[in-house]
């Protein structure tokens, strides 16, 4: 969903958002291996975004 008229997030705001998401993903207690694999993949993607210096277009 694209919101018209909303300002884009700055690089700093994106970094803070990704850090918060990563910390929340670390708190998740999974029940199955499949859930754990999905969470691990999402965390890896967030870490990749955090390491990059580029801004994403949201």
Question: What gap in Å lies between CA 19 and CA 30, rounded to an integer?
Answer: 20
Instruction: Note the pLDDT of residue 6.
Output: 72
Does the residue 27 lie in any domain?
Answer: yes
- Residue 5, sorted as left (phi over 0), alpha (psi -120 to 50) or beta, turns out to be left
Instruction: Note the pLDDT of residue 3.
Output: 62
∠ at Cα 9 (5, 10), nearest 5°? 130
Instruction: Note the pLDDT of residue 58.
Output: 53
Instruction: Note the pLDDT of residue 1.
Output: 56
Does the residue 24 lie in any domain?
Answer: yes
Domain residues for the domain of 29 are 11-50
Does the residue 57 lie in any domain?
Answer: no
Q: Are 14 and 55 in contact (CB under 8 A)?
A: yes
Number of independent structural domains in the chain: 1
Does the residue 44 lie in any domain?
Answer: yes
Instruction: Note the pLDDT of residue 57.
Output: 61
Q: What tens-digit pLDDT sequence spans the chain (58 residues)? A: 556 677 777 888 888 999 999 999 999 999 999 999 999 999 999 999 888 866 666 5
Does the residue 46 lie in any domain?
Answer: yes
Does the residue 35 lie in any domain?
Answer: yes
């Amino acid at each position: 969903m694209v919101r018209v008229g909303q300002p884009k997030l700055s690089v700093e705001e994106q970094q803070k958002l990704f850090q918060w998401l990563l910390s929340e993903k670390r708190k998740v207690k999974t029940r199955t291996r499949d859930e754990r694999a999905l969470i691990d993949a999402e965390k890896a993607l967030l870490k990749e975004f955090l390491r990059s210096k580029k801004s994403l277009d949201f």
